[in-house]
Structure 1
Amino acid sequence: MHFPTEFFNDLLSHPGITKALWPAVVETLQMTGITAAMTILIGLPLGVLLNNLSPRGLTPNGPIYSVLAVIVNITRSIPFAILLMALLPVAKFLTNKTLGPVAASVSLSVAAIPFFARIVESALREVDPGKIDAALVMGSSNGQTVRKVIIPEAMPSLISGFTTTIVAVIGYTAMAGLVGGGGLGRLAYNYGFQRYETTIMIVTIVIIVLLVQLIQMIGDRLTKAVSHR
């Protein structure tokens, strides 16, 4: 019973740390939110395009599909730490900054978009071909078939995949904080690692775990709500 009391007393004895904790949480949420928005805006259409251009898609096109698939695979294969450093000039060009959560969101988005695009492609591929054929026979265009049949049928898998992507992004935000991205990662490094403050390390880990659990819970409930089973 002494551990919780000592833990909180130790935390409260560092007002500078407790004061920096809330801005760090906000920066982590900011990076996650920006990345989530860009992942939906770009990753979802990219995944739909990959599915449509694939050999089993509505508009098969081998050469274009191959080029897009190679780009996606190459981007996914680059370790995030290397990608983060390599995209600093791009972040500088787009945001006029190389530090902070907005600049870090550039690298986070580039890492998350191809990851989610592949999830989208796989989810759409699992839709019953009979339902797609039925929609086409009834006169639906390719675009209508995608919007009204394929995406709605794949919605549970899409939400589940998006949840998985955002959970991974939260982990990446901690890594981004080590190179000036801000957030809980920077707080853990500056106070926890460099100053050997075990308390702040534990606090940041707990907060990250709680964020992951919250997002996973929301994602699971949404997946269940739209499931056709």
Structure 2
Amino acid sequence: MRVVIAEDQVLLRDGLVRLLTGAGHAVVAQVGDGRRLVAEVSDRRPDLVIADVRMPPTYTDEGAAAVLFLRERYPELAVVILSQVVEPSLVAALTGGRVRAFGYLLKDRVLDTRVFLDQLATVVDGGTAIDPVVVENYVQHSRDRLHGLTGREVEVLGLVASGRSNTGIAAELVISRRTVDAHLRSIFTKLGIESDPEDNQRVLAALDWLASRGRVAG
């Protein structure tokens, strides 16, 4: 994949470049501020953007603002946000009702490079990868559409939103793949998500879940 990295911390940025190139990907641009991010993406049209939330000159939301602009301008662009803090309202704003090809990961919780690369691939393929801490934060404040789900189903849906495959969910919860499939069928039924060859049920479920959480967080 072709990647643009927007990160003002040089050591972290260099580490990302080495990781990605070592995995066979092409880093087509490295920038340290939101304005250059927009310019490079517009010029190079990468497959994926990895961006920090806070960048120069004010270190508030320059990266997030640039990503929001780019997602509106290029709806199919895959984006992974790397943040140092849990910001549920920011996640809701950045998804804008669209969680396809979107990720939000916490920097200090990226502990396994293989998992991180898998999450990037998930996002590029149109999926979602939301850090479980953000997912848990949303769950704790949930009082709406998820009330019909069992506790285990909420766990499964949270792992779906964090970008885990059915096999990965089974391993995480120490249950069988068949049990995961059964939970997902129940979740889709309860959320009113019908089978449709044009739609990815997992993404639609995550969209419903995040949209629900966004209303609470906002």
Specify the structure having the higher radius of gyration (Cα): 1
Does 1 or 2 have the higher relative contact order (CA < 8 Å, sep 6+)? 1
> Per residue, is there more strand in 1 or in 2?
2
The reply to whether TM is greater than 0.5 is no
